[in-house]
Structures are given as C-alpha cells and as structure tokens.
C-alpha cells in the first residue's frame, strides 16, 4: 500500500499491533550489550534496570522513527518483544496519561496524583510512514515503571527477537525508493482487540 493510500477515516487514537490470541508484540531498541543477550536468552540481562521506566511501542514504524532504523547511538539493537495480552491489558488498565488534558482530568493536581501512583503511562505520538514522516493519526507508547516494569521483565515476556536485520533491510529498500517492496516486509499489524475499551479513559 502506498503512503498516499492511507485511509483518511483511520481513528486518531488506536492501538495497531501484531498480536495473537494470547500475545502482543512491542518494540524497543537498546545498545548491543543489552539487546543481543536479551534476544539470545529470551529475557533481559542483569544490566537491564528494573527500577527505571521503560517505554514499549506496538508500532514498528514508530520504533524505526525513534531509533533511526537502528542507527542512533545506544539504540543499535532493535527488539521485537512478545508479551502476554493479559500483561499488556493490565498495564493499560493501570495507566495514566503522561500529560495533563483539560476536560479529561478534573484538575492538574488530581492528574499529578494519579500519575505519581500509576505504574504505567500512556503517550500518543504521530504514527509514521515508511519515510518516517508523521501521519494524521497517533501511535501508542506505553511507559512501564515500578510494578509494571518488574512484571514486564519477569512475567509477561514470552519471546524476544532481534529484528535489527529486518529494520536494515526495509530501510535499504526505502532509500532505493522501493516502497512497495518495503511495505511487504513490514510486520503485519491490525487493531488490537478490546483496545478502544481499554483506552476509554486514556484518549487525550
């Protein structure tokens, strides 16, 4: 599908992801010292800090935008992390928007209290096309901290795959102007089941 064919009626807020009946795939990028052992062992190494917030992204192309197709310093190892839908849904149910939204939140103080106690944060950023240009609808980022980060690392992960070679292959095709070929290599994504319901209080 060419970029000009993007549906104009695509909802502004929607979780688009690769998923099965039991799992959802999210993307992260790390330095090789973290990413390579994580992909090899199917879990994050000891150097991965559970006491820091970690951001997971269901959108492959938004991850490519963030890490520059795996070329940015400290983000050279791109991972596809398959986690349980049960865990992902738990994070959404316990999340707070990362920014204050008048009309959605009662006031800034109550939002700050909610943000402080929430183990997960939702942020919406413009989705990206193959040239990494912004699209008129948004892509989800989910920040995990505290209990959520621990659950993510120790309970939710079912598989970790190094997709750096795929990122480089697609990037090469894009640079050559072969967008149709690049499109065919993108991980298949579709609307996440129950996503609208889970996000009903998080549509900023």
| Model confidence pLDDT, tens digit, residues 89-121 | 999 999 888 766 666 666 677 767 776 788 999
Q: For residue 203, what pLDDT is reported?
A: 67
Spatial separation of the C-alpha atoms in residues 193 and 1, rounded to whole Å = 23
Burial of 184 (0-12, 13-18, 19+ CB in 10 A): exposed
Per-run averaged pLDDT (10 residues), the chain, 204 residues: 53 93 98 97 95 96 97 97 97 83 67 79 94 95 96 98 98 98 97 80 64
Kindly report the pTM of this predicted structure. Answer: 0.90
Q: For residue 4, what pLDDT is reported?
A: 43
Return the closest-CA partner of residue 103 out of 201, 14, 15.
201
Q: For residue 192, what pLDDT is reported?
A: 94
């Amino acid at each position: 599908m060419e970029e000009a064919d993007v549906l104009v009626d695509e909802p502004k807020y929607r979780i688009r992801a690769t998923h099965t009946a039991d799992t959802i795939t999210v993307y992260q990028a790390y330095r090789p010292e973290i990413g390579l052992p994580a992909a090899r062992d199917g879990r994050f190494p000891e150097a991965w800090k559970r006491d820091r917030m970690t951001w997971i992204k269901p959108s492959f192309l938004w991850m490519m935008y963030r890490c520059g197709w795996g070329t940015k310093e400290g983000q050279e190892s791109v991972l596809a992390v398959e986690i349980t839908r049960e865990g992902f849904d738990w994070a959404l149910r316990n999340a707070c928007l990362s920014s204050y939204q008048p009309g959605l939140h009662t006031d800034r103080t109550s939002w700050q209290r909610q943000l402080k106690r929430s183990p997960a944060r939702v942020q919406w950023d413009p989705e990206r096309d193959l040239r990494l240009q912004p699209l008129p609808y948004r892509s989800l980022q989910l920040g995990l901290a505290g209990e959520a980060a621990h659950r993510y690392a120790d309970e939710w992960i079912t598989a970790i795959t190094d997709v750096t070679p795929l990122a480089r292959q697609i990037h090469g095709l894009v640079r050559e102007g072969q967008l149709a070929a690049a499109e065919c290599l993108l991980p298949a994504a579709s609307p996440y089941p129950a996503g609208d319901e889970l996000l009903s209080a998080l549509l900023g």
